[in-house]
């Protein structure tokens, strides 16, 4: 899980304001990407992220919440999704080959 702290509060449905959103471990499951193209999600396609983020956020954001949030807050969430999708650093290959 990873928490994104917004620069300013974001108003969501019901008039509630939030200051942070957690990208849940659901993001680590391939099923979260169903119906989406991995490349489009990884490159920050807005429509793909508007579909994906309600599946993986806590508090659970709606598509409308995401579509109407300030661009800087959306960009923070998009960056966090890209971080989740980035490959982990490989083990030290030189150490493994020497042993």
pLDDT in tens, 45-77: 999 999 999 999 999 999 999 999 999 999 999
- pLDDT at res. 93: 57
Q: Can you tell me the distance from the alpha carbon of 9 to that of 19, in angstroms, rounded to the nearest whole number?
A: 5
- pTM confidence score: 0.83
Strand partners, 3: 22
Give the β-pairing of 17-23 and 57-58.
antiparallel
Of 3, 32, 35, 1, residue with least CA distance to 20: 3
pLDDT at residue 91 greater than cutoff 70: no
- pLDDT at res. 51: 97
Helix/strand/coil for 92:
coil
CB 8 within 8 A of CB 70: yes
**DSSP character for 37?**
-
Supply 60's token pair: 């659970």
Cα 76 off chain centre by: 8
């Amino acid at each position: 899980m990873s928490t994104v702290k917004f620069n300013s509060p974001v108003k969501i449905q019901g008039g509630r304001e939030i200051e942070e959103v957690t990208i849940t471990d659901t993001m680590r499951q391939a099923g979260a990407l169903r119906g989406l193209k991995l490349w489009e999600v990884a490159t920050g396609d807005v429509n793909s992220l508007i579909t994906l983020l309600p599946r993986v956020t806590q508090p659970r954001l709606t598509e409308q919440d995401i579509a109407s949030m300030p661009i800087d807050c959306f960009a923070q969430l998009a960056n966090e999704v890209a971080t989740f999708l980035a490959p982990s650093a490989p083990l030290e290959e030189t150490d493994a080959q020497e042993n």
